[in-house]
Amino acid sequence: MSHPDVLVVGGGIGGLGVAFSLTRQGQTVRLLESAPAFGEVGAGIQLAPNCTRILDDYGLLDEAKSLGVVPDAMVMRDAVDGSELTRLDLRHLEQRYGYPYLVIHRSDLHGLLLRACERAGVELVNDAKVTSYENTEDGARVTLSSGETQQAGVVIAADGLHSVARKLFVDDQPVSSAYVAYRGTVPAEQPRVRSVDLSEVVVYIGPRCHFVHYGLRGGEMLNQVAVFESPKALAGQDDWGTPDELDAAFAGTCDFVRDGLPFMWRDKWWRMFDRDPVMTWVHGRIALLGDSAHPPLQYIAQGAVMAIEDGWVLGEHVARHRAGDGAVDWTAALAAYEAVRPEHCRRVLTTSRKWGELWHLDGLAREQRNVLLRARDTYDYSFTDWLYGPTALTPDQEPEMFTPVPLDSAQPVPAGGVA
């Protein structure tokens, strides 16, 4: 078997994205996927303008829009009383950033990228579980569970939350948030779906829980996600996130949220882990990408987006460090990649954790948060400009972060009184 220019390990959204990106830059790419077939589990995924901008550059945005929904608004409500707290006008947001906010089924996005890789000539290999990585004199090599070795000029490890390659960089473990997600989709003909506005992405935030819904596949179905903190996880029990905990966690929420729980898939749930940020992603000719480098909690909906950004940035730096004969200065390209992506993703990981804390407040802190959210102007983009603008290729292009607003700056109105 001849050696490709690049080996990509992992056939998820990040792996397919970088394989397509590098093939566009004239590289021969072989992608190794451990599963016997390509596929994605889950339900809906949100793609902000910093991602749809890249899909447009790839020539894939129209197909993505045809498979998904371009919503009109994102609405945040209080899960206890159901009242609206704040909203984003997503059509206006598209004008600001130049690209739409899109919701799509995770398997549809994965299939779109898989077909793009097939058209581009990526060599796709299944049943190829990588057990170790090592650098060689002129590139890098991986060993498969079968004992077979494969090598290339560069190896991109897009091997997910439980990455084998990450062990080359840091001896760490996934961090449990003690939160768990239940998902489910509801066909459009159900009364539940007819009662909601499928043009809105809605999140109900509540004490130690939240509930999300939005339309998928052109409004054919309603996607729902119920997330809560597991008392069993906090108590150190192994069997946590169970359906009885789901029902108990949402017992104090409004009717609309509780009425959605019977539609969740109750035989499967997703425990929510991330990892602490790491700033070193390149080891010789081996580079981390996607969740192997930066698995986030999902509160700002940037996990798959960051992975797609990683692949696009690497492709752009390959283009900038390619000689006239097509040879790539991989040392320079990987250094440029590592100079910009870890800091951006560190910001996303830490902000995701803080945003999750903000969503799940109780008592006085919840009331203060609600006052601040209600006071926000619909067209205030100070909390999204750092994230939704063009993806930075160099550190100087990375926008400034937002300035946090302290909770104690808000004065809740006492019950039956005035502030």
- Digit-coded pLDDT (tens) for 358-407: 999 999 999 999 999 999 999 999 999 999 999 999 999 999 999 999 99
- Return the bridge partners of 139, or none: 136
Encoding tokens for residue 354?
Answer: 């803080």
Residue 303's alpha-carbon distances to 13, 183, 225, 274, in angstroms, are 10, 17, 16, 10
* pLDDT attached to residue 195: 86
CB neighbours of residue 402 within 10 Å: 14
Domain ranges (residues) in the chain:
6-68+98-173+276-347
- Return the bridge partners of 144, or none: 130
- By three-state DSSP, how is residue 251 classified? coil
The verdict on whether 214 is a catalytic residue reads yes
DSSP 73-138: EEEEEETTT--EEEEEEHHHHHHHHSS--EEEEHHHHHHHHHHHHHHHT-EEE-S--EEEEEEETT
* pLDDT attached to residue 2: 82
- What is the H or E stretch that residue 368 is in? helix 363-375
**Residue with the larger pLDDT of the pair 2 and 101:** 101
168 neighbors 284 (Cβ within 8 angstroms): no
- pLDDT of 416 over the 80 cut: no
Rounded mean pLDDT of 314-341? 96
Residue 253's alpha-carbon distances to 72, 204, 206, 209, 394, in angstroms, are 26, 9, 7, 9, 45
- pLDDT of 419 over the 50 cut: no
DSSP 294-322: -PPPSTTS-HHHHHHHHHHHHHHHHHHTB
* pLDDT attached to residue 219: 85
Q: Which segments within 230-363 are labelled E, that is strand?
A: 270-274, 282-283, 286-288
**CB-count burial class (<10 Å; 0-12, 13-18, 19+) for 334:** buried
CA 123 to CA 6: how far, in whole Å?
Answer: 10
- pLDDT of 417 over the 70 cut: no
- By three-state DSSP, how is residue 272 classified? strand
For 84-132, what is each residue's pLDDT tens digit? 999 999 999 999 999 999 999 999 999 999 999 999 999 999 999 999 9
The single-letter code of the amino acid at 196 is V
CB neighbours of residue 2 within 10 Å: 6
**Residue with the larger pLDDT of the pair 125 and 325:** 125
Average pLDDT over all residues of the chain: 95
Nearest to 245 by CA among 258, 230, 259, 267: 230
Alpha helical stretches, state H, 121-200: 191-194
- pLDDT of 190 over the 60 cut: yes
CA 157 to CA 132: how far, in whole Å?
Answer: 11
CA 414 to CA 419: how far, in whole Å?
Answer: 6
Q: What share of the chain is helix, strand, coil (3-state, %, to 5)?
A: 35, 25, 40
Lowest mean pLDDT among 148-162, 285-299, 341-355, 403-417: 403-417
Catalytic residue from among 97, 101, 182, 214: 214
* The listed CATH number (3.40.640.10, 3.50.50.60, 3.30.1330.40, 3.40.50.2300) that belongs to domain 6-68+98-173+276-347: 3.50.50.60
